[in-house]
Amino acid sequence: MTARIIDGKRIAAELRARVADEAGRARRDHGLTPGLAVVLVGDDPASQVYVRSKHRLTQEAGMASFEHVLPADVAQDELLALIARLNRDPLVHGILVQLPLPKSLNTEAVINAIDPAKDVDGLHPNNAGRLANGFAALSPCTPLGCIILTKSVHASLQGMNAIVIGRSNLVGRPLLQLLLNENATVTIAHSRSRELATLCARADLVYAAVGKAEMVRSDWIKPGATVIDVGINRLVDADGKARLVGDVDFAEVSQVAGAITPVPGGVGPMTVACLLVNTLRAASAIAGLPKPAV
């Protein structure tokens, strides 16, 4: 058996097109142009690539994009002052501070300084707490994308056994909460979990978000399971050629799974698409408009 490949690139493009439609409607009917501010501190090459793609796709969706690049040695107070300005700026409806921040900065204090209404990353304790309590909240983009990809395979996740491998604030923990809201039965595993293979083997839905190249093997996977690979790892082959791989051994697992996301072209494109969704939702809520249809 060979798994169905979940085409994240196509699903993300469709989602962005729906966001662009709704953003156009907001502009025509209400004079509202949703605006996203992205803050990049330092010159990490991977972060620069992400930020550039966010900038381009935000503009393509008909929204305003504001980029703020600060040096790696910026003072904490200066970064907090920028966030305070963005909190007050009526053209800005979403604020994203690209992570990870340089070690000299206090990430928690920076996240806490963002106005929760503009927190399109869903990382502020106000939003994380609301999500954990099952209330409406801005939710982190990558987990939102994982749920949309899963629903492209299964109309309902109710009663399914899901395992999330990884417990980060950006992915694992919010994904656990979103799956609970979908009435899945959720196990969350991590680096200290025992018998990971056994835990995985009973899962209908497997989410790998640990950052370890090709860690999930085919003998962990229940035949027919849906596998969502959140990992992006750079591997250098024996001949010196670099390639991107996920946390799942794709060649092996795609022989056993029912459906699987590729890397690249799976979860990755969904993250930015969901960021645009969150920016549209935040702008509508701030302007007192009804929840957009996307």
Residues that bind ligand GUN (CB under 6 A): 96-99, 121, 141-142, 170, 271
- The first and second tokens of residue 45, run together, are 């090459």
Nearer to ligand GUN, 82 or 96 (CB): 96
Tell me whether residue 43 is one of the annotated catalytic residues: no
Q: Min. distance of Cβ 74 from ligand GUN in angstroms? A: 16
Tell me whether residue 54 is one of the annotated catalytic residues: yes
Nearer to ligand GUN, 99 or 285 (CB): 99
- The first and second tokens of residue 175, run together, are 């994904």
Distance CA 69, CA 48 (A): 10
Buried-exposed string 155-169: b where 16+ CB fall within 10 A, e elsewhere: eebeebbbbbbbbbb
Of 98, 118, 204, 249, catalytic: 98
The amino acid at 90? P
Tell me whether residue 291 is one of the annotated catalytic residues: no
Nearer to ligand GUN, 58 or 254 (CB): 58
With CA atoms as reference, report the closest residue to 124 among 113, 133, 132.
Answer: 113
With CA atoms as reference, report the closest residue to 208 among 259, 146, 293.
Answer: 146
Q: Min. distance of Cβ 221 from ligand GUN in angstroms? A: 26
Q: Min. distance of Cβ 258 from ligand GUN in angstroms? A: 27
With CA atoms as reference, report the closest residue to 189 among 174, 204, 173, 178.
Answer: 173
Q: Min. distance of Cβ 290 from ligand GUN in angstroms? A: 27
Of 115, 118, 119, 121, catalytic: 121
Q: List, in sequence order, every residue forming a beta bridge with 236; answer none if it has no partner.
A: 242
Direct distance between the N- and C-terminal alpha carbons of the chain, in angstroms, rounded to an integer: 35
> Please, which residues have CB within 8 angstroms of residue 239's CB and are 6 or more apart in sequence?
none
Nearer to ligand GUN, 58 or 142 (CB): 142
Catalytic annotation, residues: 54, 98, 121
